[in-house]
């Protein structure tokens, strides 16, 4: 993992003129390894997070976990595992964290993997009840 955060000055169009955003530490593309990615995807909650993130736009952590029925600390853990494996990228802007899939990086390293995973979990979203049942 590169271990560095990137600071980016936000433009006026984002409504945060003057505020500094940072990208949380994540592995560089060439350091994303298959075992770490598969481990990160081996949890039903993380698979659901990936399914929800399969959009073109970054989403706030709060929006991604809405309705799943997990605590903030559990969500934070799952987002960290995904980020450290290189599956997602997280940008913090003030108190809000935005998460997005690293689709291009993953497709470069492992062509078709992410598309296959998203297709495989493309069914209905897990409800809070089903997530609790998975973990019991």
Q: How confident is the model at residue 10 (pLDDT cuts 50, 70, 90)?
A: very low
- Sequence-distant (6+) residues with CB within 8 A of 30 are 109
Query: How far is Cα 77 from Cα 81, in angstroms, rounded to an integer?
Result: 6
Query: How much is the pLDDT for 32?
Result: 95
Question: What would the pLDDT profile of 61-119 be if each residue is shown by its tens digit?
Answer: 999 999 899 999 999 999 999 999 999 999 989 899 999 999 999 999 999 999 899 88
Query: How much is the pLDDT for 19?
Result: 60
Alpha-carbon separation of residue 2 from 49, 75, 85, 98, 106 (angstroms)? 24, 23, 12, 19, 16
Of the candidates 38, 35, 58, the one whose C-alpha atom is nearest the C-alpha of residue 47 is: 38
Residue 134 has pLDDT above 50, yes or no: no
* Bridge-based pairing state of the strands 20-23 and 96-101: unpaired
Which architecture, in CATH terms, is 22-122? Orthogonal Bundle (1.10)
Query: How much is the pLDDT for 102?
Result: 93
Alpha-carbon separation of residue 79 from 11, 119, 134 (angstroms)? 26, 20, 18
Residue 6 has pLDDT above 60, yes or no: no
Comparing 24-33, 35-44, 117-126, the range with the smallest average pLDDT is 117-126
Residue 18 has pLDDT above 70, yes or no: no
Query: How much is the pLDDT for 16?
Result: 46
For residue 90 the two structure tokens come to 């997280």
Answer yes or no: are the C-beta atoms of 89 and 103 closer than 8 Å.
no
- Residue 120: helix, strand or coil by DSSP? helix
Residue 17 has pLDDT above 50, yes or no: no
Comparing 130 with 110, the larger pLDDT belongs to 110
Question: For 41-57, what is the mean pLDDT?
Answer: 90
Comparing 118 with 19, the larger pLDDT belongs to 118
């Amino acid at each position: 993992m590169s271990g560095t955060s990137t600071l980016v000055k936000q433009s006026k169009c984002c409504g945060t003129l003057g505020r500094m955003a940072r990208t949380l530490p994540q592995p560089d593309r060439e350091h994303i390894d298959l075992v770490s990615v598969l481990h990160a995807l081996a949890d039903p909650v993380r698979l659901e997070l990936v399914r929800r993130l399969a959009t073109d736009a970054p989403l706030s952590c709060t929006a991604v976990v809405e309705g799943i029925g997990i605590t903030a600390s559990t969500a934070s853990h799952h987002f960290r595992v995904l980020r450290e494996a290189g599956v997602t990228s997280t940008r913090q802007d003030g108190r809000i964290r935005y998460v997005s899939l690293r689709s291009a990086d993953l497709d470069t390293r492992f062509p078709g993997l992410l598309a296959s995973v998203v297709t495989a979990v493309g069914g209905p979203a897990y409800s809070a009840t089903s997530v609790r049942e998975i973990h019991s």
